[in-house]
Amino acid sequence: MAKIQVSTKINNENVEYLCEPHDTMLDVLRNQLELTGSKESCGSGDCGSCSIILDGELVCSCLMLAAEAEGSNLETIEGMSEGGKLHALQQKFLEKAALQCGICTPGFLMASKALLDHNPSPTETEVRFWLAGNLCRCTGYDKIVKAVLEVAEDMKETA
Amino acid sequence: MSDTQYLAASTIEEAVNAHSKADGSARFLAGGTDLLVQIKSGIRKPNLVIDVKKIVELNSIEEISENEFVIGASVSGVNLNRNKKFSKLWPGVLEAFRLIGSEQIQGRASLGGNICNGSPAGDSVPALIAAGCMALIAGPNGKREIPIEEFHIGPGKTVLNNGEMLVSLKFPKREIHSSDTYLRMTPRTEMDIAVVGCGVNITFENNVCTAARVSLGAVAPTPLLIKEASKIMIGSDLNSEILDKVSKICMDSCDPIDDKRGTIDYRTKVAGVLFKRATLTTINRIKGN
């Protein structure tokens, strides 16, 4: 069967790939493009560990066909740090120990980034609602929520 | 899903033709948050998946005249939420749609998909029925419009024939002194499936109700329009006696299933309670409280 050719932009780089019609975006990211930061945990949109940002919106890459990415702009966890310097959220997650096993962390970071992109000064309630689509079985969420709130606070001070 | 083909249609005609030719084995893809899960789990095995998100009519939010909206079937929750005027005129429809899934799901899931998936518990449907929406459908034999309460014929079953697609939802022109509310009961507070859902849409001016539509979800094989409720509410001041009476009618209209999320008795009782709460909330919204 003929493969589908897709031209898209991932982390500000033009990327072309061939995919099967049934490949999910997550399949292509991980298995073809070797961008294995996005994780597959549930594969059904419940856990958020495959979260990426598609044309500015937070989505589950497991619930998107790779063919749908034609002409889009994708951000994955691999594009979060710049020039070897961690993003403020990544740095704060480390400082606050907002992770344990780390499987959910890329998804949480992408979701947190999308939140702060849309709403730079969220309330705690807003953070908790926004991150409700990301499951973590280790941390109990408190440290993650606090890390995001602190980054928002830091951003205000430096703005 | 290994035999599935993918087509990104750019016009309604292209999508409808492809669907017709596939002879029942094609599915339209909007947000994919139901369809991809169904394909992965083997519930559906379409030979052709037709992506409709690039079709202008499906992807647009239009105010065709003052306070009169047409919402494309593939518009996502995130996008509808950004339209401040729509949110103000139809808070019940918006809150129903926004209850569906997480932020990740909201970024993709579409209003049309929630309708076409055909779940008796789909959250947006009772709110759309209460709103009095028309479903605009395109197919091989042209276009047709039906009231949204006639769209579902059973769990997972809709009136769409082979080749037909839901294009958009046409809202009635919003009158002043009107508002709507959607409430649902779920075992968990968020991201759960409704045990009962209730949409109420009212016009209430000088303490008289001049228009009312009530709809219930998850209490019958399809979402219900409670026609009897409108008859009693319209012309009244919506006092507690009236609300008790309509609450009873809501309960009598229920024909739910017994399952792990709610018994028949429980769902029936909650339907009456949600009707009252949704009505009081709507009155408060109209009064600006």
**Domain boundaries along the sequence of chain A:** 4-79, 88-158
The residues, ordered by sequence, that sit 6+ positions from B6 with a Cβ below 8 Å of its Cβ are: A4, A21, A65, A67, B48, B49, B51
For the A88-158 domain, the top CATH level (class) is mainly alpha
**pLDDT tens track for B64-117:** 999 999 999 999 999 999 999 999 999 999 999 999 999 999 999 999 999 999
pLDDT score recorded for residue B151: 98
Please indicate if any CB of chain A lies within 8 Å of the CB of B4.
yes
pLDDT score recorded for residue A157: 87
Which residue among A21, A48, A60 places its CB closest to the CB of B4?
A21
Tell whether B162 and B63 lie within a shared domain. yes
**pLDDT tens track for B25-59:** 999 999 999 999 999 999 999 999 999 999 999 99
Pick B260 or A150 by higher pLDDT. Answer: A150
Q: What is the mean pLDDT of residues B170-191?
A: 93
CATH fold of A4-79, please? Answer: Ubiquitin-like (UB roll) (3.10.20)
Q: Write a three-state SS string for B206-218.
A: CCEEEEEEEEEEC
pTM, two decimal places:
0.95
Q: Which amino acid is at A123?
A: T
Which residue among B4, B40, B104 places its CB closest to the CB of A133?
B104
Please indicate if any CB of chain A lies within 8 Å of the CB of B191.
yes
Of the three residues B123, B142, B170, the one that is the final residue of a domain is B170
Total domain count, chain B: 3
**pLDDT tens track for A49-92:** 999 999 999 999 999 999 999 999 999 999 999 999 999 999 99
Tell whether B210 and B275 lie within a shared domain. yes
Enter the ipTM.
0.95
Contact B8/A59, CB-based, under 8 Å?
A: no
Gap from A133 CA to chain B (nearest CA, Å): 5
CATH of the domain at B30: 3.30.43.10
Q: Average pLDDT over chain B, rounded to whole?
A: 96
Q: Please state, in angstroms and rounded to a whole number, the distance separating the CA atoms of residues B36 and A40.
A: 15
pLDDT score recorded for residue A1: 63
Count the Cβ atoms, other than its own, within 10 Å of residue B2: 8
pLDDT score recorded for residue B2: 60
Contact B105/A133, CB-based, under 8 Å?
A: yes
Q: Average pLDDT over chain A, rounded to whole?
A: 96
**pLDDT tens track for B181-190:** 999 998 887 7
Which chain A residues touch B81 with a CB distance below 8 Å? none
Q: What is the mean pLDDT of residues B132-138?
A: 98
Question: Which neighbouring-strand residues pair with B157?
Answer: B154
Which tokens in the block code for residue B85? 């005027």
Of the three residues B170, B200, B224, the one that is the final residue of a domain is B170
CATH of the domain at B163: 3.30.465.10
Of the three residues B123, B148, B170, the one that is the final residue of a domain is B170
Please indicate if any CB of chain A lies within 8 Å of the CB of B75.
no
Please indicate if any CB of chain A lies within 8 Å of the CB of B51.
yes
Q: Please state, in angstroms and rounded to a whole number, the distance separating the CA atoms of residues A148 and A124.
A: 9
* CB contact at 8 A, A111 and A48: yes
Edge-to-edge strand ranges of the sheet holding B208-217:
B178-185, B196-205, B208-217, B224-225
Gap from B159 CA to chain A (nearest CA, Å): 26
Q: What is the mean pLDDT of residues B154-170?
A: 96
Q: What is the DSSP letter of A30?
A: I
Tell whether B32 and B102 lie within a shared domain. no
- Per-residue pLDDT at A104 exceeds 70: yes
Q: Which of A47, A58, A70, A73 to mutate to test the interface with B (most CBs of B within 10 A)?
A: A58
* CB contact at 8 A, B212 and B202: yes
Phi-psi map region of B177: left, alpha, beta (phi>0 left; psi -120 to 50 alpha)? left
In chain B, % of residues over pLDDT 90: 93
Count the Cβ atoms, other than its own, within 10 Å of residue B217: 29
Q: By residue range, what is the domain housing residue B152?
A: 57-170
Gap from B185 CA to chain A (nearest CA, Å): 18
- B271: pLDDT confidence band, cut at 50, 70 and 90? very high
The residues, ordered by sequence, that sit 6+ positions from B154 with a Cβ below 8 Å of its Cβ are: B118, B221, B222
The residues, ordered by sequence, that sit 6+ positions from B12 with a Cβ below 8 Å of its Cβ are: B55, B57, B58, B138, B165, B167
